Structure 1
């Protein structure tokens, strides 16, 4: 009966979303069945992902006689107004493609040279600001800014910028203020041209150059250089820097972790790195025009824009040219860009298909799969391999672009910058021991594989001894297709790939050559932070993950090979068996960074802490145990702008039910603004003596 009711509820939700949908077809001869299928796909995605308030979509496919705008879900959560296909939105970093194209138009006009230093084009006050912070503006070129290879620190991704916007959301930022912040918060990341560091700072400098060379405001320059009128862009404008065009529909509300942030001043992302407001149809027109040669005067200019430097080939979101990314969609090479608030715009030249979407949530829940919609549309249009984005079994891959000498150069930079940036690097490890580990790795690099070098660097940061100093595993590391979880002293298999289904629910008793206890201890002695290892939950949660990483297992001596790892399992009946587990290359959601493995769960009904995976903060009353249970995976919306209604609602439930227990479950919480807990939740609990007791809280 429960499963029947769930099925009825799912159908009801889908019916609700279908009712609220709208379609605008630009081609009277479009296949109505095809349009209906696209609408169904879009509605299903919104219904299946409650973290998305709504979603807009435009698909242009002349070979299929298709040019259609679609909408599903809500304009904003408060009014419950349905999205219209022509509601506009903040495109954020998709603006960078417009900025890069404008620079290239100035290049065509002979007003700028791509390989000239930026000191030739920047006002004196900007050049001096950069030079005073160690940047050589006579060596950083315009091309470096366009390709994110300048090494200039990105203010927009700096945690201090997030904090500043959060603390004063209505502050009116200036371009100079943002560049000053970049100089204050970060040093050069590398010598210009020698690496890749995505940088909004570089693009706001390009915005300044456009204004200076064109003699126009940035808004006017975009319109003139890119010829908005000729392309047909009548729903696109720079927010607050120019009036909205006549007849443009309202700005749909952007959300961050479920919180409406439309009141945050647009200047936080405005001057060339972001700032445009547009519609899916306008963006589709622009990217089609750009990639079919209708924006530039010369075909060679587009070729220049699409050149990807060797430093820019292997990054999340795709290989990066000049303000434009190359990515593979269902076997097709496509070009475009994504934006922070959920925009992505891509044109696939060979298939002659343009897909633009926007889902108005900067941080969708980790269960949201960015590629799903593209794969389904590709399958519907029959433009490529539309198999679902599941992880594929393959041999572990090495990073093919790094030489041994480059690794040694990286290691020296790593050691130098750690010492410079860490507040107290030697609080758990002596300087002598740190230098000794670095020197030994430097000597060993010629005989190590790429992944062994990375793991050895991870061992060094582990000895630093704090949870915020770590080497992030690269996306070319592989994963054993298992999910493990410690229940007391037992490590159980909670999820597994279909071909290892027999391992579901069993205990892991041995990995490689080590019993499970010894394997965990070896991780603690090598790659787990020495100080954080004193925290039992840290050890349990992290070791369960690291024990599925073949590159780590082999480097620390637990497994002999990265190609197959023997694991011995034991059933509840005491039967033991060993499987040779082959690693997989996981699919990574380009929007959220979440890893997708396509695993089968051990139980149909997940335990309480795994329920409602799309909700970051939820609570309920459990009458059998007289418990108020709070799942606290993410900080509720009070974490950005103040005020904590979710915490208040928990306390109202406590006051109403007078429970025997209050359980606040922080499993899966990766951090946030803990000051909101100190200001609101903790004082509220302290005021309630009945629950604020050992054994009850």
Structure 2
């Protein structure tokens, strides 16, 4: 299957400001002695064999929780990666945003059938075709037809250093306003990061908080997550991101990623987290949400769109994979040069999350999942 990275950024090389060693100090959570620890550690070994600078893994199975990390969080200072170190998680951020919205649905403050126009500034609605009729449900499930702002133009401008820190509104104005829709809302499914920029504005309207504050209040705090933050909040213990040149040399691109994702509300890809927190979030969905709401979240529309990539269906902020180990619900994510996956396997009562730093040859096939899942469960 093809590589699927929902949010990809490229950037020109610039001299990064390297944090002090104290920046990386953190306390890794306790975890269990696991009977499959050697097998899980193989994921770390495979990642290092590819040349990844850093990799972190969390697996929660019926036997307990296992955490592991390998490589270096900061190559220039030789800071060893630890399970408590945070990574950009790219579009796994969408699970955080969708869960916040669904919590508001359970509280009666929002309806999935609400027209998004009821919760968006009039100017935004006026400049996005279909925004008058699209619903919150269609927004969460990528059925609006709104074009993806992360297109070739955006990527080229980032690569050339032309994209500075922009708010959600500024990003929409620059890349989505007055663009031709892909289809009328509800007619098809096409993955679009623009939907989750609009979700940030909806959360702000309904809660009166910033999007990241709303996610903290509605999701990270009640789920007991301690290592997940919106990037604008300036988290510490954040792993550096490295891209590889054609000669194989690694270049620190952390400042490019930070610049593009620094403004509040980038619920399409702006959250930083740890694999342990991503596992904890997926495991907490059945307590955060009412049963019928979680069922709707997992009710994934089959994907036939050519840009679907590595998902068999999409629900409300959750991808569905049909695997040899049963269905899996979660998300892939990528914000260059970071990538992540987080999936829950109900039939196995197991949840796995992986974060990597580094765009190296072979990382796409590695993070796409099948090899990781085989390491977790064994050969099918």
**Smaller-chain TM-score range?**
0.7 to 0.9
**Pairing 1:345–2:342 present:** yes
- Match of 1:333, SS? strand
Residue of structure 2 aligned with 1:285, choices 280, 284, 299: 280
- Match of 1:264, SS? helix
Show the 5 A alignment for 1:527-546.
none
Q: State how far apart, in whole Å, the 2-side matches of 1:243 and 1:125 are.
A: 30
Question: Any gaps of 5 or more consecutive residues in structure 1?
Answer: 1-22, 380-385, 388-697
Q: State how far apart, in whole Å, the 2-side matches of 1:142 and 1:378 are.
A: 36
1:266/1:312 CA distance change after superposition, 3 Å:
farther
- Residues 325 and 345 of structure 2 are in contact (CA less than 8 Å); yes or no, is this contact kept in structure 1? no
Tell me which residue corresponds to 1:42.
Answer: 43
Q: State how far apart, in whole Å, the 2-side matches of 1:83 and 1:180 are.
A: 38
Q: State how far apart, in whole Å, the 2-side matches of 1:177 and 1:374 are.
A: 39
- Residues 313 and 320 of structure 1 are in contact (CA less than 8 Å); yes or no, is this contact kept in structure 2? no
What is the CA distance between 1:360 and its match in structure 2?
A: 1.3
**Pairing 1:239–2:243 present:** no
Q: State how far apart, in whole Å, the 1-side matches of 2:38 and 2:239 are.
A: 24
Cα displacement string for residues 204-229 of structure 1 (whole angstroms, at most 9, x for unaligned residues): 00100001110111121111112x33
Show the 5 A alignment for 1:148-187.
148-156=142-150, 158-168=151-161, 171-183=164-176, 186-187=179-180
The total of aligned residue pairs comes to 339
- Match of 2:36, SS? helix
- Residues 31 and 67 of structure 2 are in contact (CA less than 8 Å); yes or no, is this contact kept in structure 1? no
Cα displacement string for residues 563-585 of structure 1 (whole angstroms, at most 9, x for unaligned residues): xxxxxxxxxxxxxxxxxxxxxxx
**Pairing 1:84–2:78 present:** no
- Match of 2:74, SS? coil
- Residues 154 and 201 of structure 1 are in contact (CA less than 8 Å); yes or no, is this contact kept in structure 2? yes
Tell me which residue corresponds to 1:192.
Answer: 185
What is the CA distance between 1:311 and its match in structure 2?
A: 5.2
**Greater C-alpha Rg:** 1
- Residues 336 and 345 of structure 1 are in contact (CA less than 8 Å); yes or no, is this contact kept in structure 2? yes
Tell me which residue corresponds to 1:558.
Answer: none
What is the CA distance between 1:265 and its match in structure 2?
A: 5.1
- Residues 57 and 354 of structure 2 are in contact (CA less than 8 Å); yes or no, is this contact kept in structure 1? yes
Residue of structure 2 aligned with 1:268, choices 260, 274, 279: 260
- Residues 223 and 281 of structure 2 are in contact (CA less than 8 Å); yes or no, is this contact kept in structure 1? yes
1:336/1:313 CA distance change after superposition, 3 Å:
farther
What is the CA distance between 1:120 and its match in structure 2?
A: 1.4
Cα displacement string for residues 101-154 of structure 1 (whole angstroms, at most 9, x for unaligned residues): 111111122222212321111111111121xxxx13222111111111111011
- Residues 96 and 323 of structure 1 are in contact (CA less than 8 Å); yes or no, is this contact kept in structure 2? yes
4+ aligned runs moved over 4 Å, structure 1? 310-314
Q: State how far apart, in whole Å, the 1-side matches of 2:190 and 2:46 are.
A: 33
- Residues 195 and 311 of structure 1 are in contact (CA less than 8 Å); yes or no, is this contact kept in structure 2? no
Q: CA RMSD in A?
A: 2.4
What is the CA distance between 1:368 and its match in structure 2?
A: 4.4
Tell me which residue corresponds to 1:210.
Answer: 203
- Match of 2:256, SS? coil
What is the CA distance between 1:162 and its match in structure 2?
A: 1.1
Residue of structure 1 aligned with 2:213, choices 202, 214, 220: 220
- Residues 280 and 358 of structure 1 are in contact (CA less than 8 Å); yes or no, is this contact kept in structure 2? yes
Tell me which residue corresponds to 1:378.
Answer: 377
- Residues 147 and 179 of structure 2 are in contact (CA less than 8 Å); yes or no, is this contact kept in structure 1? yes
Tell me which residue corresponds to 1:330.
Answer: 324
What is the CA distance between 1:310 and its match in structure 2?
A: 4.6
- Residues 60 and 353 of structure 1 are in contact (CA less than 8 Å); yes or no, is this contact kept in structure 2? yes
Tell me which residue corresponds to 1:360.
Answer: 357
Tell me which residue corresponds to 2:108.
Answer: 110
Show the 5 A alignment for 1:229-628.
229-240=221-232, 242-244=233-235, 250-257=237-244, 258-264=250-256, 266=258, 268-269=260-261, 271-290=266-285, 293-296=286-289, 298-310=290-302, 315-318=308-311, 319-340=313-334, 341-362=338-359, 364-365=361-362, 368-369=365-366, 370=368, 371-379=370-378, 386-387=379-380
- Match of 1:359, SS? strand
1:193/1:27 CA distance change after superposition, 3 Å:
same
What is the CA distance between 1:85 and its match in structure 2?
A: 1.4
Larger RCO (CA within 8 A; separation ≥ 6): 2
- Match of 1:284, SS? helix
What is the CA distance between 1:81 and its match in structure 2?
A: 2.5
Tell me which residue corresponds to 1:617.
Answer: none
Question: Any gaps of 5 or more consecutive residues in structure 2?
Answer: 1-26, 245-249
TM-score (ref. length: structure 1): 0.46
What is the CA distance between 1:364 and its match in structure 2?
A: 4.2
- Match of 1:271, SS? coil
1:359/1:115 CA distance change after superposition, 3 Å:
same
Q: State how far apart, in whole Å, the 1-side matches of 2:111 and 2:315 are.
A: 17
Tell me which residue corresponds to 1:582.
Answer: none
- Residues 266 and 275 of structure 1 are in contact (CA less than 8 Å); yes or no, is this contact kept in structure 2? no
Q: State how far apart, in whole Å, the 1-side matches of 2:164 and 2:374 are.
A: 41
Tell me which residue corresponds to 1:26.
Answer: 30
Cα displacement string for residues 54-81 of structure 1 (whole angstroms, at most 9, x for unaligned residues): 21000111x22x2121011221333333
Q: State how far apart, in whole Å, the 1-side matches of 2:88 and 2:340 are.
A: 8
What is the CA distance between 1:313 and its match in structure 2?
A: 8.4
- Match of 1:343, SS? strand
What is the CA distance between 1:362 and its match in structure 2?
A: 4.5
Tell me which residue corresponds to 1:57.
Answer: 57
1:363/1:303 CA distance change after superposition, 3 Å:
farther
Q: State how far apart, in whole Å, the 1-side matches of 2:66 and 2:180 are.
A: 46
